[in-house]
Chains A and B, each alone.
Chain A
Amino acid sequence: MQWEVVIGLEIHVQLSTKSKIFSGASTAYGAEPNTQACTVDLGLPGVLPVFNGEALKKSVMFGLAVGAQINERSVFDRKNYFYPDSPKAYQISQLYYPVVGEGHIDIVLEDGSQKRIGVTRAHMEEDAGKSLHENFHKQTGIDLNRAGTPLLEIVSEPDMRSPKEAVAYMRKIHSIVRYLGISDGNMQEGSFRCDANVSLRPKGQEEFGTRAELKNINSFRFVEKAINVEIERQMDILESGGTVTQETRLYDSEKNETRSMRSKEEANDYRYFPDPDLLPIVISAEEIEAIRKTLPELPDAKCARYMEQLGLSEKDARALTVDRDMAEYYEQVQQAVDDAKMAANWLLGEVSAMNNKNGLEFKDCPVNAVQLTGLLKRVKDNTISGKIAKEVFEAMFTGEGSGGEGDADTIIDKKGLKQITDTGAIEAIIDEVIANNPGQVAEFQSGKDKLIGFFVGQVMKASKGKANPGQVNQILMQKLRS
């Protein structure tokens, strides 16, 4: 039987407010346990939540960015369940009247085509605390610093048909929230997390199969792996004539397996009701329009502009605009060097490669845009070749230079890397190479044209890569053909 996978994602985004969604406690990451958990976060009797307007503003920004309807009136509900990291025994969330209604985003598939994925809704809620199960004999330690951190839960339509599509969707949402500056999107610190609803159905069948909800997916790599192992598990069940149980499953990245979380099942009756502590959240059409005016240029628009104004290929334009930090870096270099293609090649080539090799995000690249500009100017004016430029770049990457535009010149001088453009000097090297390789000269002259590559290589080697390749080619041809 041919099976088709159906995937929907719920993404939890921590909104980057200074204070919590219902209290004035700090949301800063990494503080000593429970030093940022006040009486409201602890759910002590008699406290009253007061809503943080910034969480509303940031949520509305997201809604506008995905073309969604913004609900001028939204309501907080209580989601009731017992777990010690949620001391009130309910989570304040929005079930019936979420702030953001239906919207959509477009993802790019592997074959380069686009696919539209529906966003069902997005609602505001509070995060829970953290449980630490290690180190305590028969006890669990609770840190409530994270409790009350504002979250935007973004729910997708079950529109994805492969793990790769799910990853592309997740990356696009990540890109958008980073562009908007509404979340730091830091997955290691849990600011961007994902649950995946996964089901299988016979190919061609209209109705959905029974789904399992995978929890605890905290990286782009894991979302693909988790869905893949879950597909295999469900396929095994279905192929052997069994039925899939609707349940919550935890993804274990170490064992690369999903396993049932039975305790979550019996709690699955959340008995939502409107939170009497909170009045309806109202935002006017004028306020929404004012927020719309603050939206930055988003990745799709930026990509289109790079193609149209700068003449970049779609592939390059997309790659440059995924990460806002990279796009801003690129624009700075591109404007200063005035060569869109060259700047694009460098960013997507050497700079990305070095960052990846060192496990760095673009924003942490040790070579800044000004330094790279200084370097590319020297390639443009033929002071150094592209190959030598990589050597200079690596020197900058490992900390040489002071962070200014003059760094390239300093390193070129210090290492004596200036390109040899003096015809006499190049001729002298070529004469020596020709004299040392009489056999190859004879072969070339008898018609083995391909040997030109050998000669160029020898000359470049003899000049330690500094000879101007264009001139080398030209003079070599003259001399060998004469």
Chain B
Amino acid sequence: MSRLDKSDVEKIAFLARLGVDEQDMPEYAANLSNILDMVEQLNSVDTDGVKPMAHPLDAVQRLRADEVTEVNDRENLQSHAPETAEGLYLVPRVVE
């Protein structure tokens, strides 16, 4: 049984940049705990010798030829952005 508490939910929400209301915390904690319980149940299956599945489709990736097929569409693409200047997308200042 994995039990997540409020602080776990807060951390997960922060990592995903999701806002979770205080009153919803217990419900999120319970739901996420149930998911972990299910995964734990899967963990009990013997998977020795089973090839890990990376994708539900039993297929392999098609390889693209190395060719430039895209043209400059900056004007159109930037018309959807909230703010641009000198060809750049502007975002709130990120300081390192």
Q: Known interface pairs A34-B78, A51-B63. Does A279 touch B93 (Cβ–Cβ under 8 Å)? A: no
Confirm or deny: B48 has a beta carbon within 8 angstroms of a beta carbon on chain A: no
Confirm or deny: A80 has a beta carbon within 8 angstroms of a beta carbon on chain B: yes
Contact residues in A for B85 (Cβ distance below 8 Å): 136, 141
0/1 per residue, B65-88, Cβ < 8 Å to A?
111111011100110000101111
Q: Known interface pairs A51-B63, A140-B90, A280-B61. Does A97 touch B15 (Cβ–Cβ under 8 Å)? A: no
0/1 per residue, A10-43, Cβ < 8 Å to B?
0000000111000111100000111111110010
Q: Is the CB of B92 within 8 A of A33?
A: no
Q: Is the CB of A52 within 8 A of B64?
A: yes
Q: Is the CB of A35 within 8 A of B74?
A: yes
Bound Cα distance A51, B63 (Å): 6
Contact residues in B for A269 (Cβ distance below 8 Å): 15
Bound Cα distance A349, B65 (Å): 44
Q: Is the CB of A53 within 8 A of B63?
A: yes
Bound Cα distance A236, B55 (Å): 50
Q: Is the CB of A18 within 8 A of B93?
A: no
Q: Is the CB of B63 within 8 A of A52?
A: yes
Q: Is the CB of B86 within 8 A of A274?
A: no
Partner of A84, one of B55, B68, B72, B94: B94
Q: Is the CB of B96 within 8 A of A263?
A: yes
Q: In the assembled complex, how far is the CB of residue A45 from the closest CB belonging to chain B, in whole angstroms? A: 11
Bound Cα distance A131, B59 (Å): 37
Q: In the assembled complex, how far is the CB of residue A291 from the closest CB belonging to chain B, in whole angstroms? A: 13
Q: Known interface pairs A18-B67, A19-B67. Does A50 touch B78 (Cβ–Cβ under 8 Å)? A: no
Q: Is the CB of A140 within 8 A of B67?
A: no
Q: Known interface pairs A17-B66, A280-B55. Does A84 touch B91 (Cβ–Cβ under 8 Å)? A: yes
Q: Is the CB of B92 within 8 A of A138?
A: yes
Q: How large is the interface on B (under 10, 10 to 19, 20 to 34, 35 or more residues)?
A: 35 or more
Q: Known interface pairs A24-B70, A51-B61. Does A34 touch B89 (Cβ–Cβ under 8 Å)? A: yes
Q: Is the CB of A281 within 8 A of B87?
A: no
Partner of B66, one of A19, A142, A282: A19
Bound Cα distance A434, B55 (Å): 92
Q: Is the CB of A131 within 8 A of B66?
A: no
Contact residues in A for B52 (Cβ distance below 8 Å): 96-97
Q: Known interface pairs A80-B15, A280-B61. Does A142 touch B89 (Cβ–Cβ under 8 Å)? A: yes
Q: Is the CB of A142 within 8 A of B65?
A: no
Confirm or deny: A132 has a beta carbon within 8 angstroms of a beta carbon on chain B: yes
Q: Is the CB of A140 within 8 A of B92?
A: yes
Confirm or deny: B50 has a beta carbon within 8 angstroms of a beta carbon on chain A: no
Confirm or deny: B42 has a beta carbon within 8 angstroms of a beta carbon on chain A: no
Query: Mind listing 25 A-B residue pairs with CB under 8 Å?
Result: A19-B64, A19-B67, A24-B64, A26-B68, A35-B72, A37-B74, A37-B77, A38-B73, A38-B77, A39-B77, A54-B65, A56-B63, A96-B52, A133-B96, A135-B86, A136-B90, A138-B92, A140-B91, A140-B93, A141-B86, A141-B88, A271-B15, A274-B54, A279-B55, A282-B61
11 further interface pairs, Cβ-Cβ under 8 Å (given A19-B66, A35-B87, A39-B77): A34-B78, A37-B74, A38-B73, A42-B77, A51-B61, A53-B65, A132-B88, A136-B85, A139-B92, A141-B85, A261-B96
Interface residues of B (CB under 8 A from A): 14-17, 52, 54-55, 57, 59-70, 72-74, 77-78, 83, 85-96
